[in-house]
Structures are given as structure tokens and as C-alpha cells.
């Protein structure tokens, strides 16, 4: 009896666990031996020691976080981000799908490793008030993406973040913003560019086997820009995205500028860059706007199909490849007007980063687009699918006709 009382006294301060309950149940049926008692006491002490070690580690981490809070108060900032989208499944992080790597996966990992945010904020991005300005699709690049979040303003913060990022992702700038700033909601407009081989504007009977020999004529470029100018203003773009009814108010989008620049030579092939600025864009909208103009220029569709696509009926609009699409810049005009001159906050303009942005595009974005296009021929391959589309019929009629003709689906339009 004395032995049992001694053992029970030693176990009073220990945590309840499965092994302890099992031991107490055993005691009610049979008296333990000295050897059994010693083993159970040792096991309980080890478990208590492990628990204490975990608690000590947690306390140490909490102390480090508290020290960082005292030394580097957490502040709301805007980060200027540039990246090449090749090999990534878009910008936005998708928790639980680690096999589909996104830009945010690598960015958040770098933020944690550099000591800008606590480790648990990497698992729950709401804790750092994270918001992206634009959600770019698979393979789409950016030269002027902006994200907002709360970070510890550690010394040499940009250098430390970039140390943990791959070369094709760079944080180029940081600015303090108001506590209520949201990079998505405070954005007034977004500017995208689309780089493509000018053979996209060739006549439909042109021999695409000789892409390098094609040169865009001045008259054709002028017509291209006249068609792009039709998009300016507010229109119903329900035909330029997926699963959007014509009666949906969100389908109405405001475009302020769209034009194609002068052609230039890269790797013995002629390219051009289309620029478009709008208040906001829906999924695939820009690629479909470009795809429809290409179809008109090549002679597969008449010009009036553009205005008809803004009507109530469903129009079959082709979607250009995603390779050449780049988020160039995001605009915060209203925020700058309200807070840019208050003496406390900086204007969200990145003039000082202009050269860095240009250098990044020349090193990582343009070469990737040019080399991938010349190797894989995504634009030429997509052009071969244009005859499948029936621009005179509605989209529903086109699908029925395609089913009857057993036409192979447009694989180039099934991914971004």
C-alpha cells in the first residue's frame, strides 16, 4: 500500500495521457512490480519533458515575435512585384494544392524566411491583410504587380526578401500606405500589354511556314488600331469571358485605351506590343478582345461582329494564346489625390523603379515570350483554329454545328 501511495503522489503533477490511464486501470486489477513502476515513472517523466520542451520553444518563438514587434513595428505597405509567369499556375495562392505552384507560394515563403512576417501568417494570409491588385492567370507575367500587406519593417527588407526568391520573381519597390489600404479595392485602372508575332495580322492565305519573312504593312497597322479603338468606352463584354449573362451588370467594363505599337525585330522575327488600359478586366477578356480583332484582320470575320458581340446574343469569340500577356502597371489615382500630399504617405507611383522594371522585362519577360513563341509556335498553332469559329452564327449554333461536323475542340483555348 505504501508503494502505491508513493507512486500516485509522483504522478499527480504529470499530464493525463493514454499510458497513464492504462496504468491506473492496471493498478485496480493487479499490483505492479518495482520494475513496472520504474518504467512507467520514466516514461511519464520523458513525456512531461517533451511537453516542457515544446512549451519552451513556443515561448521562445513568442518572445522573438514580441522582440520584433518592439524593434520593428508592423506596418501596412505596398510591394511592387515583377515576375515571369512561365512555369507557374498564376498569381493567386491555392492552399492545399502544392503541386500547382503559384507566384504567391514563392513570395509568402520568402516573406517568412526573411523575417518580415511570422511563420503562422504564411499559413493564413488574412493575418497579414494580404491582397493582390490583379489575379494573373497561368503563364501570365507582370512587370508592375502591386500587393498590400502588413510586415515588420526590418533593415534591408527588399534585399532580404529577394535573397529567398528565384531570379524570375523580384520585389522592386516598397512604400508605406494607410492602414485601410487595399491594393485591389483602391486600384482605379490596370494596364496590360500583349506581345505577339506580327504574322498574326497576315492574310489567312499567307504561308505561316515562313513566319520570319513576314512584315506588317503600315496600312494594316492603321486598320488594326482603328479596330482596337472601337473597344474604347463602356461596353457589355459578356461574350469576352465565361459564364457571364448579358444582363449581369458586372459584364460592363470601361476601356480607356487600346492600341498596337510599331513592330520590331527579335531573333529575326517581327513582333509588336499591344497596350490596353481599363478600369478592370474579366477572365480572358483581353485575350478575346485581341483574338476577335485578329479574326477580322485575317478575313475570317466582318468588322460588324465586334459591335454585335456587345449585344444580347451569344457570339463565338476566339481567345488568343496567353503567352504574350503581361500586367504592365496598376494605377491608384484617387488614392494618390487623397493621401499622396498629406505629408505622411507617399504617392503610389514607381518612377524611380522605371529602369529596374525595364531591365527585368528585358532579362526575363521578353526573352521568355520570344523564345517560347519561336520554339512552340503557339500563335501560329492558334491561328489554324480560326476557321472552326462561325462568326455569323451565335455561339450555341456554332457548338451544335461543330458537334455535327465532329470537329476537334480548340486545344489552344482550353488553358491560359
Residues carrying an active site annotation: 137
Beta pairing class for 189-197 and 325-331: antiparallel
Q: Cα–Cα distances in Å, from 63 out to 57, 114, 124, 157, 404?
A: 10, 18, 21, 21, 69
Rounded Cα distance between 107 and 83, Å, is: 11
Rounded Cα distance between 67 and 70, Å, is: 5
DSSP one-letter string for 246-296: TT-GGGEEEEEEEEE---EEETTEEEEEEEEEES---TTHHHHHHHHHHHH
- Quick one: which H or E segment has residue 330? strand 325-331
CB 394 within 8 A of CB 316: yes
Q: Within 10 A of 7 (CB to CB), how many other CB atoms are there?
A: 18
Cα angle, residue 333 at apex, residues 327 and 335 outer, rounded to 5°: 110
Strand partners of residue 100: none
Q: Both ends of the chain: CA-CA distance in Å? A: 76
Q: CA nearest 182: which of 147, 134, 153?
A: 147
Q: Report the sign of the C-alpha dihedral through residues 164, 167, 172, 177, in that order.
A: negative
C-alpha cell at 13: 503533477
Tell whether 335 is in a known binding site: no
Strand partners of residue 193: 275, 326
CB 132 within 8 A of CB 150: no
Beta pairing class for 189-197 and 264-266: unpaired
Residue that is written with C-alpha cell 456554332 in the block: 398
> Known binding site for substrate: residues?
192
Amino acid at each position: 500500500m505504501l508503494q502505491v501511495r508513493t507512486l500516485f503522489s509522483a504522478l499527480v503533477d504529470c499530464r493525463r495521457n493514454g499510458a497513464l490511464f492504462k496504468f491506473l486501470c492496471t493498478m485496480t486489477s493487479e499490483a505492479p512490480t518495482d520494475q513496472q513502476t520504474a518504467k512507467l515513472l520514466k516514461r511519464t517523466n520523458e513525456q512531461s519533458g517533451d511537453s516542457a520542451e515544446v512549451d519552451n520553444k513556443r515561448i521562445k518563438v513568442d518572445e522573438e515575435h514580441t522582440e520584433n514587434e518592439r524593434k520593428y513595428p508592423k506596418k501596412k505597405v505596398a510591394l511592387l512585384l515583377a515576375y515571369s509567369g512561365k512555369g507557374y499556375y498564376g498569381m493567386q495562392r491555392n492552399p492545399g494544392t502544392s503541386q500547382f505552384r503559384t507566384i504567391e507560394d514563392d513570395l509568402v515563403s520568402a516573406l517568412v524566411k526573411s523575417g518580415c512576417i511570422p511563420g503562422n501568417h504564411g499559413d493564413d494570409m488574412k493575418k497579414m491583410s494580404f491582397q493582390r491588385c490583379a489575379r494573373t492567370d497561368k503563364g501570365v507575367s507582370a512587370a508592375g504587380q502591386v500587393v498590400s500587406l502588413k510586415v515588420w519593417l526590418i533593415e534591408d527588407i527588399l534585399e532580404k526578401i529577394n535573397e529567398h526568391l528565384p531570379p524570375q520573381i523580384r520585389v522592386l519597390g516598397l512604400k508605406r500606405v494607410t492602414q485601410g489600404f487595399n491594393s485591389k479595392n483602391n486600384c482605379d485602372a490596370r494596364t496590360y500589354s500583349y506581345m505577339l508575332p506580327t504574322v498574326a495580322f497576315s492574310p489567312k492565305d499567307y504561308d505561316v511556314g515562313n513566319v520570319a519573312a513576314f512584315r506588317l504593312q503600315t496600312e494594316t497597322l492603321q486598320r488594326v488600331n482603328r479596330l482596337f479603338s472601337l473597344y474604347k468606352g463602356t461596353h457589355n463584354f459578356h461574350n469576352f469571358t465565361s459564364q457571364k449573362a448579358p444582363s449581369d451588370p458586372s459584364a460592363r467594363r470601361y476601356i480607356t485605351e487600346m492600341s498596337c505599337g510599331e513592330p520590331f525585330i527579335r531573333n529575326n522575327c517581327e513582333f509588336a506590343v499591344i497596350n490596353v488600359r481599363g478600369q478592370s478586366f474579366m477572365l480572358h477578356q483581353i485575350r478575346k478582345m485581341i483574338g476577335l480583332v485578329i479574326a477580322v484582320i485575317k478575313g475570317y470575320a466582318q468588322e460588324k461582329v465586334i459591335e454585335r458581340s456587345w449585344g444580347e446574343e451569344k457570339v463565338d469569340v476566339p481567345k488568343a494564346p496567353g503567352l504574350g500577356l503581361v500586367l504592365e502597371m496598376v494605377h491608384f489615382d484617387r488614392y494618390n489625390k487623397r493621401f499622396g500630399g498629406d505629408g505622411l504617405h507617399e504617392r503610389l507611383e514607381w518612377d524611380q523603379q522605371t529602369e529596374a522594371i525595364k531591365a527585368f522585362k528585358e532579362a526575363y519577360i521578353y526573352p521568355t515570350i520570344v523564345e517560347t513563341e519561336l520554339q512552340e509556335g503557339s500563335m501560329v498553332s492558334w491561328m489554324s483554329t480560326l476557321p472552326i469559329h462561325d462568326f455569323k452564327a451565335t455561339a450555341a449554333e456554332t457548338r451544335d454545328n461543330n458537334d455535327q461536323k465532329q470537329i476537334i475542340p480548340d486545344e489552344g483555348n482550353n488553358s491560359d
